[in-house]
Amino acid sequence: MHKDISLLEFVTFFLRHLKTLSIHFVIAVVAAVAISLVLPKTFESALVFLPPGSGESGLSALIGGKFDLDILGGSKLSKRQYMTILNSRELREDLIRKFDLVNVYELAKSPCPMDMALRRLKRQVSILDEVEGGLGISDIVSVELRVRDKSPKRASEMANYLFRSMEAKSMDLSKIEYERMLGFLRAQGQECDTTLAIARRQLKEFQIANKIYDVSSQVSMAMEAVGRTQAELLTLQKQQAFLGRHSTRESGELREIDERIEILKAKGSELENKMTVDVIPGLKLSLTLAGNYVDLLKEVETYVQVRAVLRQQEEMAKIRSSVNYSPVALVDAARPAEWKLKPRRSFVVIGVVSFYFCVLVSFLFARERYLHLKQTAPDKLAAIRRALRPSRSV
């Protein structure tokens, strides 16, 4: 019949084995302390830096009212891309070779020492980012690089070396990007020069063909000539009206005025409607030519301004590709840790003692139950043995 174990039985069990448990407790504590002293120590060094954000583009600068067209922009790497560089295989393999981590981690005899060292290093290096923001918008404020190793000095040196490698790699990537941009700007500049030369040639041919050298002066001269002709015509018409009231139509002076009026009318009509090319073109023709001239001149000036911007950006790209400068700001460099990260001796002692006591109590309790069954219920014990005995094939 099944019998539940009561609390009293547990108490009496511990009282019966109090001496044994006390002796083993002392042994377990001594062994746990020895184990905690033998376990290898691990130290951690931390480094903090501020990654730059992507620079403001020329379009955003124009929208913001700065009007300084900068198609190069600022940093070509985002904040998270700096973290990607830190996690790159190239930098970590270089770190492994620099500090001979294959031998430090005792992986020289493994079939794939570099891959095994990379896996081990992945557990030893942590990259944490501090983020602030709200309403679905967040931004990385700073990045903390942590490196753990048995040697506190090597841990700090590894963190600083990895940071410097990231700086160098980011500068190389930026230099490559600016060199590509420089090539693009040079190609665009050559294309702009070709288009500008065509526009200037078309303007020159238009000026020669239509004798348009100074549009404003030529239009002013045409307007002045038309104005003088109209003024003279108006004066003669007034004289004609006066003489018509006081002289006969056969008067020689009146006939002379009539002839001059006809000549001025013809001249005025010619000045307004003349379509032939001349230094002083007709008024209507001058207005048409002026519009065409302005269009051609505007195209020339447009490409002149575009070329000036491209030349400015080309010079900026040259400067940025040649400057050995990292936009990353180092806040705290890594230094050797004075306190170990692990093992925590108290945790080791408590864990070892607890495990040992669990095994010991289980063993003592199982032995008592076995002896009790052997004395009181041998048939039940035999049945348990048969159930636990492996079956034999016939």
In three-state form (DSSP H/G/I as H, E/B as E, the rest C), the secondary structure along 289-320 is HHHHHHHHHHHHHHHHHHHHHHHHHHHHHHHH
Q: What is this structure's pTM?
A: 0.57
Q: What is the crossing angle of helices 378-388 and 345-376, to 10°? A: 120
CB atoms inside a 10 Å sphere around CB 218: 21
- The secondary structure of 85-126 as a DSSP string is HHT-HHHHHHHHHHTTHHHHTT-TTSSSHHHHHHHHHHHHEE
Q: Check: CB of residue 77 under 8 Å from CB of residue 174.
A: yes
CA atoms 143, 148, 154, 156: torsion sign:
positive
DSSP letter for 139, please: E
Cα 96 to Cα 105, 119, 219, 318: the distances in Å are 10, 11, 80, 35
Task: Provide the β-strand partners of residue 42.
Answer: 342
Ranges of the chain with pLDDT below 50: 1-2, 54-72, 275, 277, 279, 393-394
* Distance in angstroms (rounded) separating the CA atoms of residues 170 and 84: 11
Cα 303–Cα 308–Cα 311 angle in degrees, nearest 5: 120
Domain 42-210+324-342 has CATH 3.30.1890: yes
| Continuous segment of H or E residues that includes residue 233 | helix 215-246
Q: Give pLDDT, residue 271.
A: 58
Q: Give pLDDT, residue 92.
A: 94
